Amino acid sequence: MERVVIVRYAEIGLKGKNRGYFEGKLIKNIRKIAKPPEIYKRYGRIIIKLKDEDFSEFENRLKYVFGIQNYSFAYAISHDIDEIKNAAKDLMGKYLNNQRTFKVETKRSYKQFPMKSQELSAYIGGYLLEQYPQLKVDVHNPEIIVGIEIKEKEAFVFVGKKKLYGGFPVGVSGKALLLLSGGIDSPVAGWYLMKRGVNIETISFLSPPFTTEKSVKKILDLAKILAKYSPDAFRTWIVPFTEVQQYIKQNVPDRYSLIIQRRSMMRIANKLAEKIKAKALITGENVGQVASQTLTNLHSIEDASNIPILRPLIGFEKTEIVDKAKEIGTFEISILPYIDSCVAFAPKNPATSSFVDEIKNIESSLIELKNLEDKVYEKIEKFVF
């Protein structure tokens, strides 16, 4: 009996003529991120052959591959009934603890197999009852499910399925640039877009000396977590934004300073996006969470961007975002007390409402703003993980 992992996907199976492309990308990403000993494809399944060494490290890497709905440890065997019986018995022995109920589920995509799905399930179920008389069959709420899949070239026998995140493999949905702050929201926003197959790079704005090297480390640590989900080199860019902010602070009514700072960030991010061929920006913005995230202010800010701004968290509750941040490992980093550029130059009473024409009128008097934006852009630093 050959030890394997059966990898399953969900949405990829709905892609029609493009399905092969999505499957191929998923296989490439599994190879790059999880580094399996050997991998091959069966219809609707990806099969990973295992070696005798400890599997825990490979399993830990597998969870960073978007596109996988779930997976199972299994035996790959021939179509011989006795081999299927022995595999089911062996797996039941490995997984049986204090459970008392089970059922057998069979999927027979190879129709030349001599027994139909229900017949094989009943036959293997009866055999397992003989081997483990303490068990009972429960077809509605079993504690253990023994799965059998009959494919054209072999059969697979497994117990249970381990759920992963699903989505699409990173890289099938193009590239976007994430505005990564040191807060809780933006890393989660980036994570959700990667789950949808978007390849991301990040840009962050810091304000030295008001922000310290600890702030830089905080940004890089957040980027490193997102990088685990990327099959290729992950790039993050840091802009020393202080000169722009000081100019805005000195020349803009305080209540509008944050909105114009954010517009400036959008213009600089657009410039980088054009360089790296990103087709959209990503932010962690959420309606009404802070003053700059009212609908009118969001409109005033996004007016400065020439490309779409994607906001995957726009309707989330804060508790939902915090829960996801804890789950993916960014929360403890995000709450470290090292400020980002927006906090360093935050106005005392920021405007909760604005109009694009009004903001543009203010910007028209800021003669040096574009030159300063170009100047800080030239000082951008790149980090690669």
d(CA 68, CA 169): 8
Q: Is 223 in contact with 202 (CB distance < 8 Å)? A: yes
Clarify whether residues 111 and 181 are in a common domain. no
Clarify whether residues 158 and 179 are in a common domain. no
The phi, psi pair for 244, rounded to 5°, reads: -65, -45
Residue ending a domain, among 139, 163, 187, is 163
Clarify whether residues 137 and 199 are in a common domain. no
Number of domains observed in the structure of the chain: 2
Clarify whether residues 215 and 120 are in a common domain. no
Range of the domain at 69: 2-163
Clarify whether residues 353 and 220 are in a common domain. yes
Clarify whether residues 204 and 269 are in a common domain. yes
Average pLDDT, the chain: 93
Examine residue 169 and state whether it is found in any structural domain, yes or no. Answer: no
pLDDT at 341: 66
* Omega before 337 within 30 of 0, i.e. cis: no
pLDDT, tens digit (0-9, with 9 covering 90-100), for 59-75 = 899 999 999 999 999 99
pLDDT category of residue 168 using cuts at 50, 70 and 90: very high
Q: Is 81 in contact with 6 (CB distance < 8 Å)? A: no
d(CA 250, CA 268): 20
DSSP H or E stretch at residue 214: helix 213-227
Residue ending a domain, among 108, 142, 163, is 163
pLDDT, tens digit (0-9, with 9 covering 90-100), for 187-216 = 999 999 999 999 999 999 999 998 889 999
Please give the model's pTM, rounded to 2 decimal places: 0.92
Clarify whether residues 208 and 256 are in a common domain. yes
**132 CB-contact burial (10 Å; exposed 0-12 / middle 13-18 / buried 19+):** middle
pLDDT at 14: 82
Examine residue 170 and state whether it is found in any structural domain, yes or no. Answer: no
Clarify whether residues 136 and 185 are in a common domain. no
Examine residue 128 and state whether it is found in any structural domain, yes or no. Answer: yes
Residue ending a domain, among 103, 128, 163, is 163
The phi, psi pair for 209, rounded to 5°, reads: -90, 5
pLDDT at 310 over 80: yes
pLDDT, tens digit (0-9, with 9 covering 90-100), for 228-271 = 999 999 999 999 999 999 999 999 999 999 999 999 999 999 99
Q: What is the CATH number of the domain that holds 138?
A: 3.30.2130.30
